[in-house]
Structure 1
């Protein structure tokens, strides 16, 4: 079970709950939005969501069985995602799966969402790049999926992909500086053990080269924080 120990009691925005790997839940006014409940997150990560957002088709972000379970459990739940994912699941839920792309804006479960980005980061030149979108939610928090997209607007909180086959630390740090948020929380950490998390924490913390002023924190699955404006 998570803790509210580091939640701002006066936060005016939603609550963010860290789930496994790259999945997060956002809660506001009794409604829940879930981003990227993939195969490395908890089996129940998508359940109870009023809205589901998926950044791209890789299985650590898109798990069809988890999405189907959430949609079947709540006939009012809806999905917003890019075409490659929508084509794989929309037939089972007509009218409830929405295709979006860079520059689109929409409301999902009472949250205002903007779409930023178009392509997945390069894993290797031999591997074709797939599409990838990121989501700015309520103008507060940005989930970039598997890309180092700098959103075309300021955001206070950045969900930072800290470890993947497509990134290295210098790129991650420069990305934080380019986005220039006030707060950074780790995502895409499902392949790291405690040793790796400790090293990255020190590098992104006061003992490292510096994030340009952004505060950095690692949340364990189940921990929640308030997102203040």
Structure 2
């Protein structure tokens, strides 16, 4: 299995003839969707959904109803490739088994309406990889790699660390990382490495790099 980190919250996961791209958004380069056989979108915010990236690939797209409606409004030409999934549903995304996890975006402020959000648990080459989107809702089962949010208007570093601890993956790969400066990300790395549980490894990669 090959995991490649792209801009912000986008990750590409490849095994055999399957290449699943999760959340190619506005902070992600177009190269992220090259060769995709499936695209997953967690929610409708622009840092996770960019319809021009979806137009650049002919891969089918799996996502939730709110995102499907946003795509239909912004890019009707793309909407015909969208498959809507329900919370808790398990589906086959171009040869990769995926389960939708959770229903709501994390709270930014109580005065805002909450957006719908789905995390995705992927089983690839005998390993489980979990992308939570913009939520701290765990998959409820062991995973090998957690794609761990680092910085966001809805996220406190202590909560991010506690979430990674709760999931308990042997490897946590930093995502959702464009909100902090390089200095802030370095501070976050120090906290994660100091406070994650025994046997939990913290990894942050530059855009376009593969998880070792």
After TM superposition, is the score higher than 0.5? yes
Which portions of structure 1, spanning 4 or more consecutive aligned residues, are displaced by more than 6 angstroms?
A: none
Asked if the contact 2:169/2:200 (under 8 Å) is kept, the reply is yes
Structure 1 gaps of 5+ residues are 1-13, 72-76
1:44 Cα shift? 2.9
- Whether 1:80 aligns to 2:54 is no
Asked if the contact 1:177/1:212 (under 8 Å) is kept, the reply is no
Asked if the contact 1:185/1:217 (under 8 Å) is kept, the reply is yes
Asked if the contact 1:173/1:211 (under 8 Å) is kept, the reply is no
Structure with more relative contact order (C-alpha pairs < 8 Å, separation 6 or more)? 1
- Whether 1:107 aligns to 2:107 is no
**Of 184-193 and 81-90, the range deviating more from structure 2:** 81-90
- Whether 1:177 aligns to 2:159 is no
Structure 2 gaps of 5+ residues are none
More helix by share: 2
Deviations 1:42-71 (A, max 9, x none): 133223211000000000000111112213
- Whether 1:189 aligns to 2:177 is yes
Match of 2:13 in 1: 26
What is the CA RMSD across the aligned residues, in angstroms? Answer: 1.5
How many aligned positions are there?
A: 206
1:96 Cα shift? 2.3
Q: Report the 3-state secondary structure (helix = DSSP H, G, I; strand = E; otherwise coil) of the residue aligned with 1:160.
A: strand
TM-score (norm 2): 0.92
Deviations 1:71-130 (A, max 9, x none): 3xxxxx200001111123354246521001211011112111111010000000111100
For residues 18 and 122 of structure 2, the distance between their equivalents in structure 1, rounded to whole angstroms, comes to 14
Q: Report the 3-state secondary structure (helix = DSSP H, G, I; strand = E; otherwise coil) of the residue aligned with 2:106.
A: coil
